Amino acid sequence: MGSGQMVAVFGAYGHTGRFVVAELRERGFVPVVSGRDAEKLRALAASDPGLVVRPASVDDAASLDRALAGTAAVINCAGPFATTAAPVIEAALRAGIPYVDVAAEIEANLDTFTEFTDRARAEGAVIVPAMAFFGGLGDLLVTAAMGDWTAADEAHIAYGLSSWHPTAGTRAAGTVSRQRRDGRRISYTKGRMEYRDEAPPTQKWPFPDPMGTREVIGEFTMADVVTVPSHLPIPEVRTYMTTEAARDLSAPDTPTPAAVDERGRSAQTFLVDVVVRADDTERRAVARGQDIYAISAPLAVEAVHRILTGRTRTVGVASAGALFDAPDFLRALSPYLSVELRSN
């Protein structure tokens, strides 16, 4: 599928980066593995002799230019994205190649839209932030659920995770985000971001079987509040997280993910339940799969494949739902993800 095209992966030796490298290889691309730690890159290459190794640092623009030279696209897997996104985007723009990242950081994604929208559109460049489980998948599901609607009153995205064993990168990104918002939490209501000091509410959410009704944290706000409103006129976008998973994330002693299969996936399962409402009508999309980090790899690589083969709807900074045919994209993920669309 990739026809031997080289695709750079910045942060290739990280947990998600390794899944992305493997997915690129499986699809016929040649991964160019990059990042600041040359020793970790060499260790990664020793386990897979077909990789091209090019160390680079976000503090050294010339090294980024060398890393991206001759590549068809770059996937940024190196968090915190508050630090890495802008330098890697700048390098992608200089190289004239598309940029995709897997950022779940709300503020970093907002920065990408704010800082690069006009320039990327003017240059005809494609920049896709949050092309991952948080942000990208939710946006695709909301867009698919909308169908022929051009607007809606509310979008609700409920995450039913069996557990959440965070990576070191997830913890580091969370620390940066909390510092940037002074410990406050975010909600998206009345068409804008609001920062709040009070604790988020808890409630019951009726997940489809076999999960059933579970307690969730309401306004457990994720990158979907950036991606969905970037192209859909929905004034209320709310995300929810099962309380068990939220406790795992907040506990300092929760271990990192452990592989249980040949793909390196953990035993974690997920169910994403999306409800979109307009007046008295409701539409729903449900996605089920395994391992929130592993699923980010086919999301990001499928995005690169579609960009490189011209199956896009716009240029500039764009979320997954704006850039791609959402139902068709989700169907392409069927080896990794089951999706069901419903209307009431």
Instruction: Look at residue 48 in the predicted model and tell me its pLDDT.
Output: 87
CA contacts within 13 A on the Cβ side of 302:
24
Same domain, 114 and 199: no
**Average of per-residue pLDDT across 243-266:** 96
CATH assignment of the domain containing 182: 3.30.360.10
Cis peptide before 80 (omega within 30 of 0): yes
The answer to whether residue 328 sits within a structural domain is no
Task: Specify if 204 maps to a domain.
Answer: yes
Q: Say if residue 139 is in the same domain as residue 212.
A: yes
Tell me whether residue 175 is in a domain.
Answer: yes
pLDDT at 1 over 70: no
On whether both 22 and 103 belong to a single domain, the answer is yes
- How would you classify the pairing of strands 185-189 and 192-196? antiparallel
The answer to whether the peptide bond before residue 210 is cis (omega within 30 degrees of 0) is: yes
* Count of domains forming the chain: 2
User: Within 10 Å of residue 155's Cβ, how many Cβ atoms?
Assistant: 29
CB 240 within 8 A of CB 109: no
Distance CA 10, CA 67 (A): 9
Whether residue 118 sits in one domain with residue 229: no
- Give the model confidence (pLDDT) of 288-322 as tens digits: 999 999 999 999 999 999 999 999 999 999 999 99
- Residue whose C-alpha is closest to residue 81's, from 23, 25, 21, 132: 132
Taking only the tens place, the pLDDT of each residue in 142-192 is 999 999 999 999 999 999 999 999 999 999 999 999 999 998 999 999 999
The whole domain housing 126 covers 6-131+296-323
Are 115 and 86 in contact by the 8 Å Cβ rule? The answer is yes
| Percentage of the chain lying above the pLDDT 70 cut | 99
Give residue-wise pLDDT tens across range 77-134. Answer: 999 999 999 999 999 999 999 999 999 999 999 999 999 999 999 999 999 999 999 9
Report the alpha-carbon distance of residue 134 to residue 306 in Å, rounded: 20
Indicate if 303 and 264 belong to the same structural domain.
no
Q: Are residues 225 and 178 in the same domain?
A: yes
